[in-house]
Structure 1
Amino acid sequence: MKVADGFWLNKKGYEVKYASQPYEIEISKNAIKVLATPGVIENRGMTLGGPNLEITYSSTSENIIKVNVTHFSGGLDNVPHFELNEDTGYIPNINETDDYVELVSGDTKVVIKKGTEWSVQYYYKDRHLTGGAWRSTTYVKESKFTANARMALQEDDEFFNYPQDPHTVYLREQLKTDIGECIYGFGEKFTPFVKNGQTVEIWNSDGGTCSDQSYKNIPFYISSKSYGVFVNSTDKVSFEVMSDTVSKVTFAVPGEELEYFVIGGENLEDVLKNYTTLTGKPALPPAYSFGLWLSTSFTTNYDEKTVNSFIDGMAERDIPLQVFHFDCFWMKEYEWCNFEWDKRQFPDPPAMLKRLHDKGLEICVWINSYIGQRSKLFNIGKEKGYFIKNRDGSVFQTDFWQPGMAIVDFTNPEACDWYKSLLKELFKMGVNNIKTDFGERIPTKCVYYNGMDPIKMHNYYTYLYNKCVFEALEEYYGKDKACLFARSATAGGQKFPVHWGGDCYAEYSAMAETVRGGLSLCSSGFGFFSHDIGGFEATAPADVYKRWCAFGLMSTHSRLHGSSSYRVPWNFDEEACDVLRFYAKLKGKMMPYLWAQAIKTHEVGVPMMRSMVIAFSNDTACKYLDQQYMLGDNLIIVPVMNEQGLAEFYVPEGKWIDIVTKDTYEGGRYYQRKCDYYQMPILARPNSIVTYGEFATNNVVYDYLQNAEVTIYSLEDGKTAAASIYDSEANKLTDITATRSGNVINVTYGKVDKNFKVVVAGTDKSAYAAAGSTSVQINL
């Protein structure tokens, strides 16, 4: 939301008032409350008008400062709220001097200056993070003329528009940025990874991967200075990232209240740990979900014979396959969703699913939260009041996706139970996973069961939708086996993984869009990420498909899916089968490492797939990298995204080793390398351990310790590397520590009942760790 007209003026049609003086400061046991006036009060006559702002600074979790700005406090309580993990009993330290008052939470603090000058500054230890001064905290009132003009531009969008009444008011904050500071996040954004200079609207939309719209909008950003800001609003939050005032991040919400959190940390990994402590840690997807998924694709024709031809074709070509996904047309056309198999194509679904399970596969099916008028469920939902309604009490319907479709109202507990019961009938047949599509196309001129504001429900709807489905899986299969494949999300949605990147085109530019979208999402608290290998729209050339296979298998989750054509590799060329097999088997072999990293993501909240700047917050070069990423703590992945087969990448300090080609790279430099289809750079971090398993049966669920290879990469004298190995149920089997002293590496581990091998990469040195032992020594 741009309000400024250059430096001195504001745009016509906006009345703008700034917090100018901390007129009164009240200190309680756990908060600082400031009465902020729009000007310096020089006499009693100046107290007769406003707008005054009441600003409360508190903390409900260590290293997180909570800021609440209120103008009018008499509004209705009809606003959905994110489910946050706040400790209302947490007591921060509050200090006061003649010049300032400060609230300290852990190592993060806010300092409010006393007197007649507005200044609020945030610090981590002694490091300045951000802050506001003159013209920062703002009350904005939009004139009737301006509001009507804006709404007139939206009249052609009756379904998904964002209606507002004239005289709309906003609360706005502006937080200062530093020279060279970069801003990231806001959910899944396909625009440039560094968000400086961009306008970011937090409004879920089905816009593909080639626009500024996105399926997963999160009102949270992180800074290269190692702090984060979370705006606690389900509304349409508008961010101007150094684009309205170029030295500030500006954010505004409609209404009379603004709440946000400033989150400190030693580095960006710490910031994300703290953010996910507040909004929720990602659940741990089951181990099998990290294997290869294959889809029927969207509009293709298929029946059980077709499905088996794909599955058998993969087995004949020795390509590991873990999950088979049935997309939309497992149900009869025009009846989505009825949760019933199309008997013309699948006459005996339970028997078919058993046959697929007997082949070692898990099963996923597509759904959404829409009920077409021809579905047998429509009349049930209508009669029971399970659907979102129009303002006159009738069922909201549209032809936009399914003819006459209604939308399930997840604010109604009975509707949730009904929806879960439909899903559980599928689980009884043998369905293991659910792809929760859509959730973005949600109307704003409607009525919910619980009376929530429909505008503020637009983004939040997807949270309730995915939560309902995830809970159904947990209730049936247990908390350790629940797994979604979700497209839409909002803050907190990371608790219901996995999320995939939506509709991308089958070309290299869309690969790059997908990388940027995934890195932005994972910069916003989401731990796991997938995408449609080969692109969704159209059919990729064989060259693009093979490069995308490498990228897809080196993402946390890997799915072959498309729109109008099958994505089995032999439809492209025979070499595509070889490439897919190579990377699927490599990922299977890497499962001990990947699984341990997934468990860390679940427990700590640091994304498994993360940008270079998150992993290397102090390396200036990493601030701008958006064509490579870290997969876990120890591996750089560099997707090849051009016909020339060129990989261009940066390597941080130390000696990095490619786990495939065995090439070494000295850090602090940029490289360019020509790669064949089997040589996408996968570089192991110095002073690290990557554990590889004995992937012998093409099933990614196996014994991750027996005959494993614990590979030590570039361990320097005096340094230590560590790793953990878990079984497929997330039980820790052992911790491993390697320490180098001169030319000797001592490796210690907990007593185990399996044999494994310790290897020093780049040498011919190794040692055999026998069952029952607790250490080995390697002489270099």
Structure 2
Amino acid sequence: MKFRDGMWLQAPDKRVEYAEEIYSITERENKKLSLLCPTAHIHSRGDTLNRPTLTVDLEAVVDGIISVEVTHWHGAVNRGPHFDLFPGGRPSVEASIEKNDAGTTLVSGGIAATVTSQPHTFDIRFHSADGKHRLTSLLNRSVGLAYSPATSSPMDTADMRDFKHYILTQTTLGVGEQVYGLGERFGALNKVGQSISLWNADGGTSSDQAYKNVSFWLSNKGYGVFIDAPERVELEVGSERCCRVQTSVEGQRLKWYIIYGPTPKEVLSRYATLTGKPNKVPAWSFGLWLSTSFTTEYDEKTVNGFLEGMREREIPVQVFHYDCFWMRGFHWCDFEFMSSHFPDPKSQIARLKESGLITKVSVWINSYLGQASPVFKEAAEKGYLLKRKNGDIFQWDLWQAGMGIVDFTNPEACTWFVECLKKLFDTGVDTIKTDFGERIPTQDVQWHDPKVDPAKMHNYYAFIYNKLVFEALQDRYGKDEAVLFARSACAGTQRFPVHWGGDCESTFEAMAESLRGGISLGLSGFSSWSVDIGGFEGYPDAAIYKRWVQFGLLCSHSRLHGSNSYRVPWLIDDDDKSEQGCSAVLRKFTQLKCCLMPYLYSQAMESIKHGWPVSVRAMGLEFPEDRSAWSCDQQFMLGSSILVAPVFDESGDVEFYLPRGTWTSFWDDKTVKGPQWVREKHDFDTLPLYVREGTILVLGRPGEKRTTYNWTSPEEHEVRLYEPRANSRFSLYNAEGNLVTVLEAEENRGVWNVKDRQTDL
């Protein structure tokens, strides 16, 4: 939202008043500074009358984090829901307040904020505690309040029903500074120059709307900002003033946290401490998931035929997913298999698992109940559905006819919903696709909990929805065996993996959009991510399908899924049995992922521990000093050591960037020195896959078809060294997610070997 018309004028429909000076500084308990900031320069006692003030509170939160809260009217009720912060416990902090001629400095571990001592000036500088790194600042006209429409007199605000009130801040952008994150966004990776509204929407992958809006952004200058506001947040990232990031919310207060690294990985780790680390995910979930697709016609025979066809082609499937039409039309969600198509689902699922065709089963659900479903009547009678202010149940005909929305602010509704899930678990369902959760109304609604703000519930609903289902899975299967396939999210929802990219088209362009979305989400604190391989909308031709298979099998999680067409390979290319056919490509990359499991799963455990993305990891996270690396949005790191460059062209031509160092092709051991841009041409059975120098790479045996096996056993793995160095090391985890050993490179008379440090653990 823009509040000005260029540099000099205010927007015609807005009145903006800025904090013009820091009138007084008060020290509070727990190392907190409270700044009283009038919206005019105060030169005499008379200047204190008939004008607003803004309060800016600075607090030392934990090491490397300072919170900033701006408030206009303190009497405004601060309704929930509020983000669940420090879910793992709040660490202690070494904080201090120091004063000198330059001003008052609040220190919070490695970060500090200095408030100017200059009279009639508004100036707050954020920097490293040692003074070596300048981060950002709040300068002249950077903190303000605004009315829309513009007020003509303070008397107008006696009745606020026809006015909207906003709080805004503007942090400075340095020369060359870039901004990343803000959730799964499908446009340009660097957000500078963009206007962004953090408001969950079901908009596909080809617009500025997003399913996963996360109020956190990361600067390439070594810091990040988390905006503690579940409601709609509007950002002008160098788009109202080119040298500032403007954040605004409707209301009387705005709070955000500035998080210092200095490296981007350290910023993400501190952000994970603040909002929550992702839960561990089981090794089986990294295998191939095969879906029925959405509106396709399928029954028990179809499912069996698909899985038997995959086995015949030696393509291992770990999870079979039943999408929406496992239930009857107009009956979503009644949690009942359609008897005409699945007469005995429990027995069928048991047979599939016993035969070894699959390991696990997933089903689609959402939290919307169509009124034709018997569960709608039950939930309505018991008061479990969101209501309008007049007492009616909120209904509309968008998606399901007359659908209602489960009100998860009602504890009894939560208990009932979990009981519905338990019936699925009893049938043999192991994991849940939690679709939707974005279309949550804010007008004319009354939640069961009267203390919540409907505007805040819109985005936050995704958190409580996914949390409820994830914890139900944990209760049934164990703390580290729970897996979702979730679409909607807000800050903190990274605690409940996995998330997938939503509705993309079956095109190369949509494949690139999806990758940008995944990279952006990874820079927002999410470790695990997947995509609809082949594209959701449309009919992928063989070239698009195979290139998407290569990309999708090198994401942390991999699922074949479509809308109105199947995604089994033999239906894409008329069962081409050549080595360049769809089945052969899918077989090769599915088995490649199984072979990579010792490396991939170990990297996943490290990433989850720190709050980093496992795959589709931004190049800038690994090479933060390389300006070219930050610009790369068509390639990514798989963990810390493997570079992946998907092919976005039918011809097989691809251009990618190798940062400084020696890189080795995974396929043929060819080495290339970086930094440089490289052009290659690839058939459908390869893509650029390069291993970073200094890597100890642990792999399963060639042709491996399992994602869960005893890969820590020497009989089950091989170890490769790539340009080893004295500090080369690799932490190897087993399939249960436990650290088993640390491998280190050791030189003896010019020959490099690997030393096992297991005895030292």
Deviation per residue, 1:563-612 (Å, 9 max, x gap): 01110011112200000011111110000001101111221111112111
Aligned residue identity for 1:53: L
Identify the range of structure 1 (703-712 vs 82-91) with the bigger mean alpha-carbon deviation: 82-91
Question: How many Å apart are 1:10 and its aligned residue?
Answer: 1.1
Counterpart residue number, 2:670: 663
1:503 aligns with 2:503: yes
CA distance in structure 2 between the partners assigned to 1:318 and 1:599 by the alignment: 28
CA distance in structure 1 between the partners assigned to 2:571 and 2:161 by the alignment: 54
1:712 aligns with 2:712: no
Aligned residue identity for 2:405: I
Counterpart residue number, 1:595: 601
Counterpart residue number, 2:157: none
Counterpart residue number, 2:552: 552
CA distance in structure 1 between the partners assigned to 2:721 and 2:540 by the alignment: 38
1:122 aligns with 2:126: yes
Counterpart residue number, 2:218: 222
* Match runs of 1:43-442 below 5 Å: 43-85=44-86, 87=90, 90-114=93-117, 115-124=119-128, 125=130, 126-143=132-149, 166-360=162-356, 361=358, 362-442=360-440
Aligned residue identity for 1:722: R
Q: Tell me, yes or no, if the aligned pair for 1:444 and 1:458 is still in contact at 8 Å.
A: yes
In 2 relative to 1, CA 261–320 (structure 1 residues): closer, same or farther, beyond 3 Å? same
Question: How many Å apart are 1:741 and its aligned residue?
Answer: 6.6
CA distance in structure 2 between the partners assigned to 1:283 and 1:181 by the alignment: 32
Counterpart residue number, 1:450: 449
CA distance in structure 2 between the partners assigned to 1:646 and 1:283 by the alignment: 38
CA distance in structure 2 between the partners assigned to 1:684 and 1:165 by the alignment: 61
Aligned residue identity for 2:171: L
In 2 relative to 1, CA 751–23 (structure 1 residues): closer, same or farther, beyond 3 Å? closer
Question: How many Å apart are 1:91 and its aligned residue?
Answer: 4.9
Counterpart residue number, 1:724: 731
Counterpart residue number, 2:692: 685
Q: Tell me, yes or no, if the aligned pair for 1:295 and 1:325 is still in contact at 8 Å.
A: yes
CA distance in structure 2 between the partners assigned to 1:61 and 1:477 by the alignment: 34
CA distance in structure 2 between the partners assigned to 1:395 and 1:751 by the alignment: 60
Counterpart residue number, 1:757: none
Identify the range of structure 1 (91-100 vs 384-393) with the bigger mean alpha-carbon deviation: 91-100
Counterpart residue number, 1:569: 569
Q: Tell me, yes or no, if the aligned pair for 2:290 and 2:561 is still in contact at 8 Å.
A: yes
CA distance in structure 1 between the partners assigned to 2:276 and 2:748 by the alignment: 41
Between the two proteins, the alignment pairs up a number of residues equal to 735
SS at match of 1:579: helix
Question: How many Å apart are 1:88 and its aligned residue?
Answer: 8.5
In 2 relative to 1, CA 523–8 (structure 1 residues): closer, same or farther, beyond 3 Å? same
Q: Tell me, yes or no, if the aligned pair for 1:294 and 1:324 is still in contact at 8 Å.
A: yes
Segments of 5+ residues of structure 2 without an aligned counterpart are: 153-159
Segments of 5+ residues of structure 1 without an aligned counterpart are: 147-163, 753-773, 776-780
Counterpart residue number, 1:761: none
CA distance in structure 2 between the partners assigned to 1:543 and 1:88 by the alignment: 51
Question: How many Å apart are 1:695 and its aligned residue?
Answer: 6.2
Identify the range of structure 1 (445-454 vs 250-259) with the bigger mean alpha-carbon deviation: 445-454
* Match runs of 1:477-556 below 5 Å: 477-556=477-556
SS at match of 1:512: helix
Deviation per residue, 1:170-197 (Å, 9 max, x gap): 1101011111111111100011111111
SS at match of 2:660: coil
Q: Tell me, yes or no, if the aligned pair for 2:742 and 2:758 is still in contact at 8 Å.
A: no
Aligned residue identity for 2:456: K
Q: Tell me, yes or no, if the aligned pair for 1:139 and 1:171 is still in contact at 8 Å.
A: yes
Q: Tell me, yes or no, if the aligned pair for 1:30 and 1:91 is still in contact at 8 Å.
A: no
In 2 relative to 1, CA 511–699 (structure 1 residues): closer, same or farther, beyond 3 Å? same
CA distance in structure 1 between the partners assigned to 2:18 and 2:546 by the alignment: 55
1:7 aligns with 2:7: yes
CA distance in structure 1 between the partners assigned to 2:270 and 2:748 by the alignment: 36
SS at match of 1:117: coil
Counterpart residue number, 1:633: 640
CA distance in structure 1 between the partners assigned to 2:295 and 2:13 by the alignment: 49
Question: How many Å apart are 1:720 and its aligned residue?
Answer: 1.6
Deviation per residue, 1:291-329 (Å, 9 max, x gap): 000000000111111001100000000011110000000
Q: Tell me, yes or no, if the aligned pair for 1:720 and 1:740 is still in contact at 8 Å.
A: no
Question: How many Å apart are 1:266 and its aligned residue?
Answer: 2.0
1:611 aligns with 2:618: yes
CA distance in structure 2 between the partners assigned to 1:484 and 1:401 by the alignment: 22
In 2 relative to 1, CA 145–187 (structure 1 residues): closer, same or farther, beyond 3 Å? same
CA distance in structure 2 between the partners assigned to 1:381 and 1:235 by the alignment: 27
CA distance in structure 1 between the partners assigned to 2:209 and 2:742 by the alignment: 44
CA distance in structure 2 between the partners assigned to 1:90 and 1:73 by the alignment: 27
SS at match of 2:254: strand
CA distance in structure 2 between the partners assigned to 1:225 and 1:90 by the alignment: 23
CA distance in structure 1 between the partners assigned to 2:523 and 2:4 by the alignment: 29
Aligned residue identity for 2:591: K
Identify the range of structure 1 (30-39 vs 333-342) with the bigger mean alpha-carbon deviation: 30-39
CA distance in structure 1 between the partners assigned to 2:341 and 2:462 by the alignment: 31
SS at match of 1:22: coil
CA distance in structure 2 between the partners assigned to 1:306 and 1:411 by the alignment: 39
SS at match of 1:590: helix
1:644 aligns with 2:651: yes
CA distance in structure 2 between the partners assigned to 1:678 and 1:104 by the alignment: 54
Question: How many Å apart are 1:168 and its aligned residue?
Answer: 0.6
Percent of aligned pairs sharing the same letter: 44
SS at match of 1:240: strand
Q: Tell me, yes or no, if the aligned pair for 2:485 and 2:500 is still in contact at 8 Å.
A: yes
Deviation per residue, 1:101-159 (Å, 9 max, x gap): 1111121111111232111111124111111111111111112699xxxxxxxxxxxxx
CA distance in structure 1 between the partners assigned to 2:702 and 2:386 by the alignment: 49
Question: How many Å apart are 1:509 and its aligned residue?
Answer: 0.3
Question: How many Å apart are 1:89 and its aligned residue?
Answer: 6.0
Q: Tell me, yes or no, if the aligned pair for 1:598 and 1:608 is still in contact at 8 Å.
A: yes
Runs of 4+ in 1 over 2 A off after TM superposition: 76-79, 86-91, 694-697, 739-742, 744-747
Aligned residue identity for 2:727: T
SS at match of 1:703: coil
CA RMSD of aligned residues (A): 1.6
CA distance in structure 1 between the partners assigned to 2:91 and 2:549 by the alignment: 47
CA distance in structure 1 between the partners assigned to 2:728 and 2:96 by the alignment: 37
Counterpart residue number, 2:591: 585
Aligned residue identity for 1:712: L
CA distance in structure 2 between the partners assigned to 1:695 and 1:82 by the alignment: 46
Counterpart residue number, 1:763: none
